[in-house]
Amino acid sequence: MTKYFFLFTVCVLYTQAIGNKEWREFGRTEVIDNTLNPDFVRKFIMDYFFEERENLRFDFYDVDSKSPNLSKHDFLGQMFCTLGEIVGSQGSRLEKPIVGIPGKKCGTVIVTAEELGCCRDSVLMQFCANKLDKKDFFGKSDPFLVFHRSNEDGSFTICHKTEVVKNTLNPVWQAFKISVRALCNGDYDRTIKVEVYDWDRDGSHDFIGEFTTSYRELSRGQSQFNVYEVINPKKKGKKKKYVNSGTVTLLSFLIETEVSFLDYIKGGFKVNLILALTGNPSQPTSLHYMNPYQLNAYGMALKAVGEIIQDYDSDKMFPALGFGARLPPDGRVSHEFALNGNPQNPYCHGIDGVMEAYYRSLKSVQLYGPTNFAPVINHVARYAASVKDGSQYFVLLIITDGVISDMAQTKESIVNASKLPMSIIIVGVGPAEFDAMEELDGDVVRISSRGKFAERDIVQFVPFRDYIDRSGNHVLSMARLAKDVLAEIPEQFLSYMRVRGIKPSPAPPPYTPPIHVLQTQI
């Protein structure tokens, strides 16, 4: 008697909430009939942020077509990963084994990711106006435009303001560039509201009128469709003969596709995380104190940042350094030493390996002041200076509870490092005053040394105490910290690549599934 094999496979994607570890269903694929090699067509569209860890779970079932309840289906296995792991893999293609049934090989899952084109596009637009209302008693109006993106709840968010053109009712504004994401969040039919104002020195700008459009309408370019009547609702309601308050015309519309951070990642670019720690572990009040039941402040900061960045490092090998310590056996003071005790090979495997080396070093060395940053920054700068082709980028994570002792030397080191493919994250832990660190951050005033300014901003400083969750939820504390300190890394990386004119390497060819006959049930 002939036996028939039937397998109706579906994949269910779950995401995990930050803080409570709850898994929530994000979506399901279509059902693939009668094959052990399903090639799912349905795509999941997710928001991606470099600075956030997004845990994913893929569950596979043999579907009972008579019941939509997953508990009625046969569980085949599951795969856990993060969105960063998928995106951070070369070609944004991750291959991992499916696990679930003990002692049985459950197969392999291949997940690929691609960036939506609208998220990378920018548009260069230019507008002019004709016969706008005169608002000034002396002279003509000083008009400018304000662009608003509509939100899901019906509200509007300002996304761009033009410059003010003085003393004219027929202004021509300069061309400006804006990302499609900022303009309409990638939704081509979403309403864009444009308001026209007459500028006043005291800030009480006079409203001239408004009009609405959409990205799809604007993309028609200069035409009769993109000449807009400026309407003032109050005037329209009061004056029967009111026609409009002038017109605004689109002069040009040019779409530009920007090279993105993910383009470099797909081409095999590698992020190298280098860690440096300082402080005194000898007392229970120390931030290095090893509590058997929970991570200390250093461990939380290290894990928060490291677990995200490690997804973008193919070999997961990280050099981990300490600075300011007495080393065995003679007690000599070192301002840069390998946490794993091997100065010739300070690399640790994964963040778990770094954590293990860190805790082991606390038992063998005596951390010791003063707190000098320059030696470890120069150490990483030597790594970065040896890579000039854009294939690698270095992120130095400094975690410290002390006040910096070599400010002048550190500023000089940062100015010199600003020319190299590297960024510096400084996390201050504990109650110390970190005023000097704010100067290193350079967000308000670009850092300088000996009259020479940093080529670009490469330093991000935050005090960890600002991110500690009041309820004691350390997972939330770490997520908040990582989000803030890592948010600037992609732009810092891109700023280096732009200045050096380094283009991303071509991505490997896309995955082509094996050819087999499928029947699908949607």
Superfamily of domain 119-257: C2 domain (2.60.40.150)
**Is the dihedral angle over the CA atoms 121, 111, 22, 355 positive or is it negative?**
negative
Strands 31-33 and 74-82 come out as unpaired
Q: What is the DSSP letter of 91?
A: G
Look at residue 520 in the predicted model and tell me its pLDDT: 42
**Per-residue confidence (pLDDT) for residue 66, from 0 to 100:** 58
Please state, in angstroms and rounded to a whole number, the distance separating the CA atoms of residues 272 and 287: 26
Q: Read off the amino acid at residue 166.
A: K
Q: 486's torsion region: left (phi>0), alpha (psi -120 to 50) or beta?
A: alpha
Q: What pLDDT is stored for residue 396 in this prediction? A: 92
Same fold? 8-115+510-521, 119-257? yes
In the numeric block, the tokens 């283009």 are attached to 503
Three-state secondary structure call for residue 320: strand
What is the per-residue pLDDT across 246-274, written as a single tens digit (0 to 9) for each? 999 999 999 988 788 888 888 888 888 88
DSSP 147-178: EEEE-TTS-EEEEEEPPP--S-SS-BPPPEEE
Write down the pLDDT at residue 5: 47
For residue 501, CA distances in Å to 90, 259, 378, 453, 498 come to 22, 11, 25, 21, 5
pLDDT, mean of each 10-residue run, the chain (522 residues): 58 86 92 87 88 92 69 85 90 89 83 79 93 82 93 85 93 92 86 94 88 95 93 85 94 88 83 75 52 73 88 85 76 78 88 87 73 88 89 89 84 95 90 78 79 90 84 83 85 88 78 50 42
What is the pLDDT at residue 50? Answer: 86
Structure tokens at 47: 């928001």
Instruction: List, for residues 471-522, the tens digit of each pLDDT value.
Output: 778 888 888 888 888 888 888 898 899 888 898 887 766 656 555 444 444 3
Domain boundaries, the chain: 8-115+510-521, 119-257, 270-500
Q: Please state, in angstroms and rounded to a whole number, the distance separating the CA atoms of residues 177 and 194.
A: 16
- Predicted pLDDT of residue 119: 67
Domain covering 8-115+510-521 assigned CATH 2.60.40 in the classification:
yes
CATH architecture of 270-500: 3-Layer(aba) Sandwich (3.40)
